Structure 1
Amino acid sequence: MNSTDILLWVALPYLTIAVFVTGMFWRYKYDKFGWTTRSSQLYERKVIRIASPLFHLGILAVLGGHIMGLLIPENWTDSAGLSEDSYHLMAVGLGAVSGACTLFGISLLIYR
């Protein structure tokens, strides 16, 4: 493991989490009234009604697929009768659909 690997896969994730948590506490302490549950006319335009759920469901599917791919042991897929090729084909197919939904949803959100 070289220094670039240590930086990218060890230090950077912890730094990202630390910045996120620090920023959340900072914002809560100094901008309490900036946090609101009002919708701010979020679903006023038709594009938002399509883009927001599409993006969020797509990103949840991408995240869920990665978590399932990491947590499901190989002997479970073997006992279910799922070959490695069909597992890979299913993962690529569902991942492509989820990624396309996420990409299309974020594109519409940026467009708005």
Structure 2
Amino acid sequence: MTQDTLRVGIVGAAGYTGAELLRLIHRHPRLQLTWVAGNSNAGRKLSEVLPGTLGVPGVGDLTIERFEPSDAPRLAKQLDVAFCCLPHAKSAEVVASLYSEGLRVVDLSA
């Protein structure tokens, strides 16, 4: 990772918006996907849930984690930017917890 590369995480990575975002992040020269979350698929490899990521270096082998707002302080140390791709009603608490820790957050929730 170069100094200009941003470490990126996605909450809601296995949904439609998250899957499209994965494709965009993977093609971006300054973004490195380092963390993914999705409570309904926690513990599974990303490639198990999104077969299109199978064999994509640094993407398909990521393990989907469960996210709780109490995880925000740890993530603020591991990430530069977090994307939220959850349904609108679920995103508010997640975004607030990440933002309150000083993390840059992009909310793509519907």
> Into which bin does the TM-score normalised by the smaller protein fall?
under 0.3
Higher helix share: 1
Q: TM-score when scaled to structure 1?
A: 0.20
* Higher Rg: 1
Higher strand share: 2
